[in-house]
Amino acid sequence: MLRALPRSFLAIWFGQLLSTLGTGASSFVITLWLWDRTQHAVSITTLELCSFGVVVLVSPLAGVLVDRLDRRWAMALADLGVAAVTVGLVCIHRTIGLEPWHLYVAKLLTGAFVAFQAPAYLGAVTVLLSKESYARASGMMSLSLSLSGLVSPAAASVLYRHIGLDGVLLLDAATFAIAVVLLFLVRVPERALATEPRARPRFVEEAIYGFRTVFGSKSLVGLLYVLAANNFLSMFGILLPPLVLARTGGHEAALASVMVAGAAGGVAGGIAMGLWGGPRKRIQGVLLMIFLNGLFGQVLLGLGRTPVTWGVASFLTSFFFPILYGCNQAIWQSKIHPDAQGRVFAARRIVVDAMVPVAMLVAGPLADYVLEPALSPGGTWVPFLSWLVGSGPGSGMSLLFIVAGLATMGLAAAAYKVRSIREIDSLLPDASDSACARYEVLSRDGA
C-alpha cells in the first residue's frame, strides 16, 4: 500500500497524522471536562456546532484563496492557527480559569482555520498523485482519522490523569508544529494554470464558481444532495458519547472502549481501502457503504444496551467510512480539474456541512427535552417503545439512532434508483490532465 504512494505524499500524510492524533487526545479530554461540568448532551453538541457552523461560513473565502495561494502555505497557516488557539486555551485555564464558553469560542476559531486546511490538503494530494491513486490515498487519509480514534482515547485518559488538561492541550499544539516542519520538507508541484492570459475574475465570481460547477451537472448535484442528507443523518452520531455515559452512569472506561472499537474499525477499513482501492464503479462503493452504515451502524447502536454491542456497531460503522470516503473523494478528484478544486470542494463542503449544524441543533435539544423525558420511567412513550429501547437515561437517544439508521438505509436505496447518480462514473467525463477548467464550468452531463 505504501510503496504505491510517493514519499512526498507520505511525508505530508504523516505530519497530518501526528496533528490528528494530538487533536483527538485534546478533543477527548475536553469532552470529559465539559460533560463533568454540565451533564447535558446539548453542551457537547453546541461545542461541535460552533466548529462546523463557522466552516460553512468561511468556506467560500477559503476556496478562492486556496486556489490562489501555495497550498503548502495555506496548510501551514491553518495548522499554526489551530496551535495558537490551543495554546490560548492553556493560558486562559492557568490565569482566569476555563469556562464552557471559552471552548465554544475556541471551536469557532479552529473551525475557521480548518476551512482553509481541508481543501488545501485535498488539492495538494491531487497534484501529487495519479488518478489511479486517489481512492487509495483517500483511504490513507481516512486511516489517519481512525488511528487517532484508536490511540487517542486510551492515551488521553492516561495523560489526563498525569499531566492534566493543560498538558494534553500543549502536546496537541506541538504536533501541529511538527506537521508544519514536515510540510516544508517536501515540494508540492505547481498547479495547472490557464494557458490563455486572462484577467483574474473578481472575488465574488470566483467564490460562486464552485457552485456553478457542481450545479451545472445533474450527476454532481445529485451526489451532493445524497452526501448532504447522509451527513445530516450521520451527525446524530454526536450523541454516542452522551448515550454511553448516560447508559453507564458516566463510566469513562466504557466510553473509551466504545470509541477505541470504532477507531479499530476505521483502521481496518482504511487499510482495506488502501490495499483494495475500492470498486471500479466508485458510486457503488458510496451507496453500499451508506446503506450498511445505516443498518449495522446506527440501528445497531440504537438497539444496543451494553458496551459490547455499542463497540461492535461502532467498529462496523467506522469500517464502512474509509471506503465511502475514498470512493466519494476519488469521484470528485477525477472529475474536477486540480486548478479549480479549492473552490469546488469549498462549495461542496458548504452544502454538505450545512447539514451538520442543523443536525446538531436538532440532536441535543431533541434528546434532552423530548425523547429522554418521554422514555424516562413514567414517560408517555414508555408503554409503546420500552420493549425496543428500554426506559431511563439514554433510551431517547437510542430511539433517535434507530430512526436515523432506517432513514439512512432508505436514502441509499432511493439514490441508487436515480440514473444520473447511479451512473456518475460513466456519465461525467474525467477532467483533462492538460486542459484547465479554471474559468469554465464543466459541461453538463446531460443525464
Instruction: Compute, in degrees rounded to 10, the torsion defined by CA atoms 222, 65, 232, 408.
Output: 40
The residue assigned the cell 458548504 is: 350
Q: What is the rounded distance in angstroms from the CA atom of residue 77 to the CA atom of residue 401? A: 38
Kindly report each contact of residues 367-371 with a partner whose C-beta sits within 8 Å and lies 24 or more positions away, as own/partner.
367/41, 367/42, 367/239, 367/242, 367/396, 367/397, 367/400, 368/40, 368/41, 368/42, 370/396, 371/395, 371/396, 371/397, 371/399, 371/400
Cβ atoms within 10 A of the Cβ of 148, count?
A: 25
The pLDDT value given to residue 285: 94
Q: Could you give the C-alpha distances from 138 to 201, 248, 278, 386, in angstroms and in order?
A: 31, 36, 10, 42
pLDDT given at position 228: 93
Task: Identify the structural domains of the chain with CATH numbers, from first to last.
Answer: 7-188+200-377+385-427 (1.20.1250.20)
C-alpha cell at position 178: 511538527
0.75 cut: is pTM over it? no
Tell me how far CA of residue 195 lies from CA of 191, 192, 437, 438, in angstroms.
Answer: 12, 9, 10, 10
Tell me if 66 sits within 8 A of 58, measured CB to CB: no
pLDDT at 224: 95
Helix and strand totals (H; E) in the chain? 18, 0
pLDDT on residue 197: 42
Q: Judge residue 406's burial from the number of C-beta atoms within 10 Å of its C-beta, 0-12 exposed, 13-18 middle, 19 or more buried.
A: middle
pLDDT in the model for residue 207: 65
CB 57 within 8 A of CB 185: no
Per-residue pLDDT of 350-403, as tens digits, reads: 788 778 778 877 887 898 889 999 998 888 888 889 889 988 889 999 999 999
Round to whole Å and give the CA distance between 135 and 141.
10
The tens place of each residue's pLDDT in the chain, 447 residues long, gives: 555 667 788 888 888 888 888 888 888 888 777 877 776 667 776 777 776 667 777 777 777 777 777 778 888 888 898 889 889 988 998 888 888 878 888 888 888 887 777 777 877 777 777 777 777 777 777 777 777 767 777 788 788 878 888 888 898 899 888 988 888 887 766 553 333 444 455 656 666 777 888 888 899 999 999 999 999 998 888 889 889 988 988 787 888 888 888 878 888 888 888 778 788 889 999 999 999 999 998 999 999 989 999 999 999 998 998 899 889 988 988 888 777 777 787 788 778 877 877 887 788 789 888 999 999 888 888 888 988 998 888 999 999 999 999 999 999 999 999 999 999 988 888 875 433 344 344 444 543
Q: Which of 249, 400, 235 is nearest to 317 (CA)?
A: 235
Burial of 84 (0-12, 13-18, 19+ CB in 10 A): middle
The answer to whether 1 touches 136, Cβ cutoff 8 Å, is yes
Q: Which residues contact 422 (CB under 8 A, 6 or more apart)?
A: 283, 287, 415, 416
Q: How many CB atoms lie within 10 A of CB 204?
A: 10
Phi-psi label, residue 197: left if phi above 0, alpha if psi -120 to 50, beta otherwise: beta
Helices (H), 367-423: 372-374, 382-389, 395-416, 419-422
Dump the DSSP string for 117-167.
HHHHHHHHHHHHS-GGGHHHHHHHHHHHHHHHHHHHHHHHHHHHHHHHHHH
Contact 290, 226 (CB under 8 A): yes
